[in-house]
Amino acid sequence: MLGRAPDPIDDAIWQQVAARVAWVAALDPGRAQRLRALASRFLQRKTITPIEPLALDPAQCATLAALCCLPLLEFGPEGLHGWSQLIVYPDAFRVNRSHVDAAGVLHEWDDELIGEAWDGGPLILSWADVEADLDDPYAGFCVAVHEMAHKLDALDGVLDGTPPLPRAWQREWARDFQQAYDGFVAAVDAGREVAVDPYAAEAPEEFFAVCSEYHFSDPALLRVHLPRVARHLERFYGRSPADARAAGA
Ligand SMILES: [Zn+2]
């Protein structure tokens, strides 16, 4: 498999992807071509495992590949490193969590999730939630982008809200994100109304992942409320398809 170029996704399938995914339809031809090549590579490298009773046809698999590759348009195929399986549940899924606290007490609970990205492990998505994102693409949500942001973040070995970047940029990024995160957490803790999903206050890595969703689905909101974060994300991900659409391009 060394360096073998993937078979490109065929025209008929790609047209179905563009018809279903507003973010793909809004890309200029050059970036759309790049995304198609990335998605082809994704389909060659990753196993997509739907959990019964869900079944996925080739266009739906290509749609998932395209969504997962949207955050890689500038970063490139290195963003696919380190994991091999995409697991797709029909709907939100339950996971059992446990944690031993400082007093040695074991806490266990169930979480209902729509997506998850294990370090080095599979990327997990809920198909129902992927479809909800596609039905309402400019509402601020994209679970596939969220989980891929975690995968990019983890590439340098630490899940901390900073993906691998050139050194000088990484310093600026870490400073600006920390400042924005601290301000956001303070606002949420004070019970103030916040424009961005308060889940972003959970941890710096969630802040990065949630803001990544807004970059693709509501970048104007990000520019108003978190302008420095918006600038870094535009540099990291490239121009948002939502802006291309707003400009009529
Ligand atoms: Zn997350």
Give the Å distance between the CA of 116 and the centre of ligand 1: 7
**What is residue 248's predicted lDDT score, i.e. its pLDDT?**
65
For residues 71 and 216, what is the distance between their CA atoms, to the nearest angstrom?
Answer: 9
Give the Å distance between the CA of 62 and the centre of ligand 1: 23
Give the Å distance between the CA of 249 and the centre of ligand 1: 31
Give the Å distance between the CA of 246 and the centre of ligand 1: 28
Would you give the end-to-end CA distance of the chain in angstroms?
Answer: 38
Give the Å distance between the CA of 120 and the centre of ligand 1: 15
What does each of the 249 residues of the chain score in pLDDT, given as a tens digit?
A: 456 677 889 999 999 999 999 999 999 999 999 999 999 999 999 999 999 999 999 999 999 999 999 999 999 999 999 999 999 999 988 877 777 777 777 777 777 888 888 777 899 999 999 999 999 999 999 999 999 999 999 999 999 999 999 999 999 999 999 999 999 999 999 999 999 999 999 999 999 999 999 999 999 999 999 999 999 999 999 999 999 877 765
Place of tokens 């031993």: 100
Q: Tell me the torsion sign for CA atoms 110, 116, 122, 123.
A: positive
Rounded to 5 degrees, φ, ψ at 49 are -115, 105
**What is residue 3's predicted lDDT score, i.e. its pLDDT?**
61
Give the Å distance between the CA of 34 and the centre of ligand 1: 26
Residues 6+ apart with CB under 8 A from 225: 194, 195, 196
Give the Å distance between the CA of 127 and the centre of ligand 1: 16
Amino acid at 198: P
Structural domains in the chain? Answer: 11-246 (1.10.472.150)
Give the Å distance between the CA of 130 and the centre of ligand 1: 15
For residues 130 and 123, what is the distance between their CA atoms, to the nearest angstrom?
Answer: 13
Give the Å distance between the CA of 147 and the centre of ligand 1: 6
Give the Å distance between the CA of 5 and the centre of ligand 1: 32
Give the Å distance between the CA of 146 and the centre of ligand 1: 6
- Give the ranges where 122-226 is alpha helix by DSSP (H): 127-135, 143-154, 167-189, 204-217, 219-225
